[in-house]
Amino acid sequence: MKFSETPLPGCYVVEASPHRDERGFFVRTFCADEFADQGLHPRFAQTSVSSSVHCGTLRGLHFQAAPALEEKLVRCDRGGIFDVAVDLRGGAPTFGCWYGIELWADGDQQLYIPKGFAHGFQTLSDDVRMTYQIGPAFQSELAAGIRWDDPDIAVAWPLAPAHQSERDLALPRLADLSIDLGEVRAC
């Protein structure tokens, strides 16, 4: 695996190294030892799959509040997405900054999103399926998010949003967030 740190410290593009032959390929998408070699020690508690039917679907920006801050390893299994991480770590020089990357099923890249970040994505094709490794386990009472179009963050989504949930459309701006972010509170 190859780890490339993004402009947001702690957030990495992880490129797998598939073994290919005439039968197809085999690829390891996670290895605790290789993550530890990078100083990363994720404790994934669940694996989840997200499916989106239409191109332009936008989900996010989601996170889990303290005391159960999430970290994620995201990959696209079918189709393509524009995957986004937003730094919510109070005191970080990159607080409120975002990083985005296209992830495609026929590519070998994943995005590792550390604790203290919000996450969202937009589909770049129809019939998209993604897999997330997430830790700790989801706790609905701590589920939170910020608006996809918050002007203070200004994510440059590649497409006009075509499909969004009512929940996502009602999320607050980062400046109006009224929940305890614990160690990721705004400075």
Q: Which residues are known to be catalytic?
A: 62, 132
Q: Is 96 exposed, middle or buried (0-12, 13-18, 19+ CB in 10 A)?
A: middle
Q: Do 75 and 141 meet the contact criterion of CB atoms below 8 Å apart? A: no
Cα 52 to Cα 63: distance, rounded to the nearest angstrom: 19
User: Do 81 and 172 contact (CB within 8 A), yes or no?
Assistant: no
